[in-house]
Structure 1
């Protein structure tokens, strides 16, 4: 499961690619990267909302709502985003929203799954599959199951139980397990869990740092 550090590092790469040079500074980067942290804050809602983590902040309706709010704000005579972040505020928020959607929500969707349409539709989805080219079978993909649904399956996906907020829990340092926990329970707050995550963190740090250095020298 990717940590918040990995999400921020990937978001940094996205922001470094999208933000124009004239708007790329420490404040802009800080705002855009902070937006990538917001989805993971839903972990603190788990004591109040069952299955909140990977649902409340990880639904695609969240960045979509922020995008609509930003668009409406832009139509105002004195946009709030512009007053808070300056002339490049719209670009910063736009890059931050892309980073939030792809680096925060999208990465979790690819890794362990998220509740993409909560609360409209309560079901966790994950991008589990592969895409290969075979000399015998041609193009083979397993991301989308196109096979006929077996009789009596009821839409459960091959007889499996549908994952919802009622039966799905993601262990975190804030909430290791659902329900009451012993006082000596181990709480893990991951930084990186694998080599590829370490590579993403190192690359994101290097690229954002390099762009900040270059922007100051211009």
Structure 2
């Protein structure tokens, strides 16, 4: 099957019959690679180099005009037609519905899943990301620590929400592992590993979050997805 999209000229598909992933092993990026591994969907991963500014190339912007990763091109989209899609939350929802996996089908449980997915996309991810900027990256050199402290406080609050919710639950939706966990825990992992902000946010105060994160990281599909694309 030939994929007729500008991005395939820049990043040719060796396996055009497979779902094409354009990404990096960042918290948002690995959400999708983890989901693809968990769902056992055949896919081909392409690394988008931010160091070389590849996210601004016309071919990539044709797939995602917002110049962010991840993005996908599915040759077998709805109705059998190719589907180009960006935004990690939207991709997770699409993949779950495509495969019938990791998302409840009952209406009330599905909406509960969606509320936590939106919570991650709109709150936890952006707040943790801002904390990373002010703690690890260029913002760490700012003399005024009020911006950093604002995001430290908000990250602690969000971890407290997680801690309370996970008490008595194996996963975010109870006993059912879902795309919600795939969305949340890469960001939690990144906060305490890559950002090295555990002490800053009081990581020791969140044993339920620690327990769920450890269980998440022990999954073979998660371990594979965290490395993609190589």
TM-score, with normalisation over the residues of structure 2?
Answer: 0.28
Name the structure, 1 or 2, with higher relative contact order (CA <8 Å, separation 6+).
Answer: 1
TM-score, with normalisation over the residues of structure 1?
Answer: 0.29
Higher normalized helix content (fraction of residues)? 2
State which structure, 1 or 2, has the greater radius of gyration over its C-alpha atoms.
1
Higher normalized strand content (fraction of residues)? 2
